[in-house]
Amino acid sequence: MVFLLEEKILALLMKKPEAGLEKLMNTYAGLIYTIVCNKLSAICPKEDIEECVSSVFFEAFEKRAGIDLSKGTIKSFLATIAKRRAIDMFRKSMKEHTTVLPLHILGEITPEGAEGGTQPQGQCDRLDTRNLLISSIKALGEPDTEIFIRKYYFGQSTKVIAGLMNFKENTIDKRVSRGLRKLRTIVGADIDFQERMDS
Amino acid sequence: MEEKLIYELDRLDTHQTDSLLNEKLAFELDRKALKRIKSSVYKKAGLSRARSLLKKAAAVVAAAIVLLAVSTALVGVENVAEAFSRLFGFIPGYGIVENNQDIKFIARESKLRAENNQAIMTVRTVLAGKNSLSISFEVEKKAFDESKALEEKKELEELLKRDALKKPDIRLFIKGKEYRSSSSSTGGGGKLENTHIYFEIPEELINDKISYTLVNNQFGLSLDFTLQPCASYGSLQEIGPTDVKNNISITAVPKKDGNRLEVELYTVNKSKFNIYSYAKEDDKGYKGMDISLMTSSGRHGYKTPEGYMGANNRFYFDVNPEEAKLVLNIPYLIVEGAESSVVSLTVPEEGKILKLNKEVAFEDSTMIITQVEKVARPENEYGALRISLACKNSNPGMVLKNTAFNRVDTFGITKGGGYLSVPDENGIIKAIEYELEQGENDKLRLNISRPQYYLLGEYNLEIDGI
């Protein structure tokens, strides 16, 4: 019934934008905040994080006429905007600050246009790699799939995931470690190849 | 490996994100942060929070409006002509749908109504999915004192502000077992109260052989209903009289109750626009025209349902039994596009007029900013910029009516901003007065977006055999 809920939100956004926006935020604010916060919390104050979240909702609101539920859900539309805006803000903040950042954070962000410069064949390969990656994460099976999505898509810490999923922290770490080995076997070569193409 | 994984997952497109994300994943956000974010978004969108909350209530009231637009989103074919050859599902009060696997059943009964000395409860729609039931109903309070309407509205607004509005006490009974709603929303503040409620039900209890009982404890009302599969039609004309213009079909579904004719409009929209309204807005129509019912006795104006604000898809007409040859005439639609363009305007000294003739081009029209003038505002020390506008149309079938105007800050981020609109006698915008803020003494950057048009091409729907 998620589709029905999204239909209602979209219909509201079109016909009663204020009510639609309210419903949209009530439904997805937690999700979007999680995405943005985990990307920016190391370098941005709470106010900037909230500003970025509000920009995501405003952008979706402005683009509401172009939302086509047959092509994807509002949830994924918002999540995609959130990822991009958070990365944009991360880059801006990086330019403004000289803070020394942990290497793993720097590693997440690549220069703008890295993908745009890839040739069509490269884009195709990248698409295949990502689809393979998604299916591989799904193939890990529960609860590992959820752990991986929380950790690597939403950027939640082991401690937070352990609390949310009622596991011990070391159980999460073990499952992550085991899952990474499986993923490396399945998609590692693809990702390594893509990295060489991009560099 | 971890960095590479994050890198790839950060760059998923919408479709890939859909494949990855689990529907069950839930994320909490503390209420205070949510309020701050909402406030910021409303400001950016040029909406006021209090108004929004009131409109939320009104939007729930307008369930039919909400559902109407659904039909435009659901039909995924290339054009209306192609759409005609497909199999449609029609759900009264909900919309026209195509191959919708989410909706398994709808209510079998056409009239679902319960009444006592307190109130009348009328169910508008029942939609059953694989493991859920979604019900929209209206309650008319018999003892409602109209003189207390404003008071009740204020109370409702206050409760909404404090998030203290109580959930309606509605239960669903299936085979003697009670089910409580997992979510609900109610709008009201007047004689009519509209509720949309959602129940999660085991899959085996959703079929066309079971009787369901909806109980409204607040008003002591209950009614029984059963389910049936959603009806299928081979063409839109089988659903009701249909006319097609500009890649938008409108199908009328009429009902007669005594001398009152109710017409509900359903669309299949394959145009690039969203339908904003079927009728004139803010009491101003293009060349004075508006929806009407033509009969052998002349032309009739319409009434809209109580509780609706502005546009809706239900129209009521008073028609005598002897009147014949009923034709619903819709002279135009008001539609909205998705384009936008950012302009930078020079703010002149107060009292001086600056001629500009700056053109903002859209695909089907051009908005011309003819001149700007800074005017004093007693309540705003920074004053306002009066922006005079003219509209130029490049498509003879379309008349630019309005656009949205949003401030753009120095970082290129679109913000909100209050402004007054001045329309002409056709409802076409001719000026706005934009409230200036600190730092805007020489420049104002605006995002001009969502061009709204009168889409000409009248629809004539012959309403016979009621």
Name the band, by pLDDT with cuts 50, 70 and 90, for residue B19: confident
Any domain includes A115? no
Q: Give the end of a domain, one of A54, A87, A108.
A: A108
Nearest to B323 by CA among B464, B167, B161, B200: B464
In this predicted structure, the answer to whether residue B66 has a pLDDT above a threshold of 60 is: no
How many beta-carbon contacts under 8 Å exist across A and B? 217
B141 near A18, Cβ under 8 Å?
no
- Check residue B58 and give its pLDDT: 35
Is the pLDDT reported for residue B329 higher than 90?
A: yes
| A178 and A94 co-located in one domain | no
Q: How many residues does chain B have?
A: 466
Same domain, A141 and A102: no
Same domain for A85 and A9? yes
Closest by Cβ to B14, choosing from A11, A71, A137: A71
A88 compared with B54, residue with greater pLDDT: A88
* Claim to verify: residue A17 and residue A101 sit in the same structural domain: yes
> Quick one: closest CA in A to B104, which residue?
A1
Domain final residue, candidates A108, A130, A161: A108
CATH number at residue A15: 1.10.1740.10
Q: What is the CATH number of the domain that holds A156?
A: 1.10.10.10
- Which domains are present in chain B? 46-232 (no CATH), 253-331+458-463 (no CATH), 340-456 (2.60.40)
Query: With b meaning 16 or more CB within 10 Å and e meaning fewer, what string describes B194-231?
Result: bbbbbbebeeeebeeeeebebbbebbebebebebeebe
Nearest residue to B71 via CA among B236, B291, B260, B311: B236
Identify which of B54-58, B93-97, B310-314, B345-349 has the greatest average pLDDT.
B345-349
The residues, ordered by sequence, that sit 6+ positions from B140 with a Cβ below 8 Å of its Cβ are B119, B120, B122, B191, B192, B193
Q: Do B36 and A138 touch (CB under 8 A)?
A: no
Look at chain A and report how many structural domains it folds into.
Answer: 2
Same domain assignment for residues A91 and A12: yes
Distance from CA of A36 to the nearest CA of B (A): 11
**Which residues of chain B does A87 touch, with a Cβ-Cβ cutoff of 8 Å?**
10
Specify whether A90 is located in the same domain as A161: no
Residue of B nearest to A36 (CA): B10
Contacts of B414 in chain A (CB under 8 A): 58, 62
Q: How far is A171 from chain B (nearest CA, A)?
A: 18
B332-338 average pLDDT score? 92
> A58 and A144 share a domain?
no
Q: Which range among B97-101, B281-285, B293-297 shows the weakest confidence by mean pLDDT?
A: B97-101
Least confident segment among A87-91, B210-214, B457-461: A87-91
Write down the pLDDT at residue B85: 47
d(CA A4, CA A15): 16
List chain B residues with CB under 8 Å of A79: 17, 21
Q: Are B112 and B123 in contact (CB under 8 A)?
A: yes
Q: What is the pTM of this model?
A: 0.53
Q: What is the span of the domain harbouring residue A20?
A: 2-108
Q: Is residue A114 part of a domain?
A: no
Greatest mean pLDDT range, A169-178, B91-100, B177-186, B358-367: B358-367
Q: Which of A79, A87, A61 is nearest to B47 (CA)?
A: A61
Query: CA of B21: which chain A residue's CA is closest?
Result: A149
In this predicted structure, the answer to whether residue A188 has a pLDDT above a threshold of 70 is no
- Asked if residue A98 and residue A24 are part of one domain, the reply reads yes
Query: Is the per-residue pLDDT at B1 higher than 70?
Result: no
In this structure, are A99 and A162 located in the same domain?
no
Tell me, what's the pLDDT at B3?
75
Distances (CA, A) of B189 to A21, B99, B213, B308: 21, 38, 26, 12
List CB contacts (< 8 A) between A22 and chain B.
Answer: 38, 52-53, 56
A136 and A186 inside one domain: yes
Residue type (1 letter), A193:
F
| Neighboring chain A residues of B17 at a CB cutoff of 8 Å | 72, 76, 79-80
- On whether residue A113 sits in a domain, the answer given is no
- For B32: left if phi > 0, alpha if psi spans -120 to 50, otherwise beta; the answer is alpha
Name the residue facing A16 among B1, B65, B73 (closest C-beta).
B65
Tokens representing residue A129 in the block:
């790699």
Summarize the confidence of residues B16-42 as an average pLDDT. 78
Distance from the Cα of A167 to chain B's closest Cα (Å) equals 16
In A41-119, alpha helices (H) = 46-62, 74-96, 103-108
Query: Angle at CA B442, nearest 5°, toward B436 and B447?
Result: 60
Q: What residues of chain B lie within 8 A of the CB of A12, using their CB?
A: 59, 66
In the predicted structure, residue B378 carries a pLDDT above the cut 80: yes
| Residue at a domain's end among A108, A129, A162 | A108
ipTM given for this complex: 0.77
- Are the Cβ atoms of A54 and B37 closer than 8 angstroms? yes
What's the CA angle centered on B312, arms B447 and B222, to 5 degrees?
Answer: 130
> Is the pLDDT at A21 greater than 80, yes or no?
yes
Q: Give residue-wise pLDDT tens across range A22-55.
A: 888 888 888 899 889 888 887 778 888 888 898 8
pLDDT digits (tens, 9 = 90+) for B400-414: 999 999 888 766 667
Q: Is omega for the bond preceding A143 within 30 degrees of 0, making it cis? A: yes
Beta-carbon contacts of B50 under 8 Å, excluding residues fewer than 6 positions away, are B157, B161
Chain B residues lying within 8 Å of A50, measured CB to CB:
33, 36-37, 40
Cβ separation B26–A30 shorter than 8 A: yes
Cβ atoms of A175 and A143 within 8 Å: the answer is yes
CB B347 within 8 A of CB B461: no
pLDDT at B215: 95
